[in-house]
């Protein structure tokens, strides 16, 4: 009930009015039945803007840190994500990744929309990074189609590290592609090469829709390298005085 109140009464109308997102390809999102919406991840604002333009409810796998933050802000953030029906995901290891896949499969088996960011984290610089294969596992296990989605402009509106968005910075575009059917790979979710091929195919469609530059590395690895690099905040050398991307 809170989800629909938030979407249709409280937050959704405000977001559409303030950001005036340009929406393309919305007809590609199935009106009913299970489907995975797989998108690029540029900004914290993505969590709110994409669901705001969909008529159906969508459940996201959200990082566990959103549910465990300290203080009043942390409790409010956790309450918001729980009330909106989002699922916490522990990203700390392979076992955690399997648990996330199981949660996603449950959503799809219930005939619902599942939102996922295959990159696994926000882009540190606006480019598109290599996708994790969990999206392929979920699609092959359930037979659900995958709808590629591209967000444009949200990185400029609210880049990583910025607490409040700047709606007038750039017009936001949300673009959905045609559903992708991977039924030809049914029963092959245990084949690593197949999972990699399916994931890369999905990421190529996201790339085509977004127009981003592609980087064949995991964004989490790039962020870790930036954090550990001497001379940057969080590194072993002297801090440069500017915070690194989160």
Q: Indicate the burial class of 130 (C-beta count within 10 angstroms; 0-12, 13-18, 19 or more).
A: buried
Distance CA 226, CA 159 (A): 16
Asked whether 39 and 150 are in contact (CB, 8 A), the reply is yes
Least confident of 75-79, 171-175, 203-207: 75-79
DSSP 8: I
- Residue 96 pLDDT level (bands cut at 50, 70, 90): low
Asked whether 130 and 51 are in contact (CB, 8 A), the reply is no
Distance CA 166, CA 112 (A): 32
Average pLDDT for residues 173-180, to the nearest whole number?
A: 97
Superfamily for the 2-228 domain: Glycerol-3-phosphate (1)-acyltransferase (3.40.1130.10)
- Residue 238 pLDDT level (bands cut at 50, 70, 90): very low
pTM of the predicted model, to two decimals?
A: 0.83
Beta strands in the chain (DSSP E): 22-24, 35-39, 58-63, 87-89, 113-116, 128-129, 146-152, 173-176, 214-215
Least confident of 106-110, 133-137, 138-142, 235-239: 235-239
Nearest to 113 by CA among 147, 88, 90, 163: 147
Side by side, which strands form the sheet with 146-152? 22-24, 173-176, 146-152, 35-39, 113-116, 58-63, 87-89
Q: Give the domain ranges of the chain.
A: 2-228
DSSP 10: I
DSSP 77: H
Q: ∠ at Cα 161 (237, 216), nearest 5°?
A: 75
- In 3-state terms, what secondary structure has residue 94? helix
- The percentage of the chain sitting over the pLDDT mark of 70, rounded to a whole number, equals 83
């Amino acid at each position: 009930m809170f989800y629909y109140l938030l979407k249709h009464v409280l937050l959704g109308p405000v977001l559409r009015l303030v950001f005036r997102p340009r929406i393309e390809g919305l007809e590609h999102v199935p009106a009913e039945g299970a489907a995975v919406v797989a998108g690029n991840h540029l900004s914290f604002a993505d969590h709110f803007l994409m669901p705001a333009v969909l008529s159906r409810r969508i459940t996201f796998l959200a990082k566990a840190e959103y549910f465990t933050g300290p203080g009043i802000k942390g409790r409010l953030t956790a309450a918001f994500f729980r009330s909106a029906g989002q699922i916490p995901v522990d990203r700390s290891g392979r076992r955690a990744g399997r648990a996330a896949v199981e949660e996603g499969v449950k959503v799809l088996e219930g005939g619902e929309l599942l939102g996922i960011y295959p990159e696994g984290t926000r882009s540190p610089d606006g480019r598109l990074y290599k996708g994790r294969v969990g999206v392929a596992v979920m699609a092959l296990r359930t037979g659900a189609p995958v709808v590629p989605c591209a967000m444009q402009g949200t990185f400029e509106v609210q880049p990583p590290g910025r607490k409040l968005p700047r709606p007038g910075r750039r017009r936001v575009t949300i673009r959905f592609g045609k559903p992708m059917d991977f039924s030809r790979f049914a029963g092959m979710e245990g084949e690593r090469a197949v999972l990699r091929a399916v994931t890369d195919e999905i990421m190529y469609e996201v790339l085509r829709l977004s127009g981003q530059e592609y980087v064949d590395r995991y964004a989490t690895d790039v962020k870790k390298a930036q954090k550990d690099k001497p001379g940057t905040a969080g590194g072993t050398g002297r801090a440069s005085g500017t915070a690194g991307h989160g």
